[in-house]
Amino acid sequence: MIRVATAQEATKISSLYDITTVVTQRINIKMEAELKTILLIENDVGCLESVAGILNRLGYAVIAMQNGPTSLCVLREGMPIDLVITADQIDDMDGFEMIAAIKKISPLIPVIMISSDISIEAYLRALSLGAYEYLNKPVQTKEISRAVKGANEKVLIGGNDHSIHRDILLKDTA
């Protein structure tokens, strides 16, 4: 159910960065939720496939990537991303750097960090950088469902259309 990005998507991304892995899932499920497309960043293939599978079963489209800079390129290029889930350790950068970079590109996109570090320091650092939620690995279906729904409610309650703000920010930085 997971496939490599279309040639057009891959060409657009790879024009700026060397792509290591781009995996995307297209679904035809109509959802009531505002969050529809989730960018998942994880270098562990087993965890990547597990979390992507959970999100697919919950009805979300997933763009799953293993490379930090390429993932940031997806956001800069204006792909319609509604939520980012990132690991705390990615081969070429850590998850804390990733949160800061995501928030610089698009401050209103909710970010969830998944980590094997259960320390309060890591939890507080992620939240201080702007993460909406911090989940421990291995991620359970109920936890990820609650976190994604909570991020959705935050977007809806806040009354912000983050995709419009993201597009404005991208145009201003271009």
CA-based nearest residue to 152, from 29, 16, 55, 67: 55
- State the pLDDT at residue 9: 54
Examine the pLDDT at 29 and tell me if it is beyond 90.
Answer: no
**Residue numbers of the domain that contains 74:** 3-173
Q: In the structure, what pLDDT confidence band is assigned to residue 153 with cuts at 50, 70 and 90? A: confident
Are 39 and 96 in contact by the 8 Å Cβ rule? The answer is no
Give 44-77 pLDDT, tens digit per residue.
999 999 999 999 999 999 999 998 999 999 999 9
Q: What is the pLDDT of residues 108-132, one digit of tens each?
A: 899 999 999 989 999 999 999 999 9
The confidence score (pLDDT) of residue 89 equals 87
- CB-based contact 139:153 (threshold 8 Å): no
How many whole angstroms separate alpha carbon 164 and alpha carbon 174?
15
Instruction: Quote the number of domains for the chain.
Output: 1
Q: Decide which of 52 and 31 is more confident.
A: 52
Residue 167 has pLDDT above 50, yes or no: no
Angle between helical axes of 95-105 and 120-128 (0-180°, round to 10): 20
CATH number at residue 83: 3.40.50.2300
Is 26 in contact with 49 (CB distance < 8 Å)? Answer: no
Q: Nearest CA to 131 among 92, 162, 100? A: 100
Q: Is 148 exposed, middle or buried (0-12, 13-18, 19+ CB in 10 A)?
A: buried
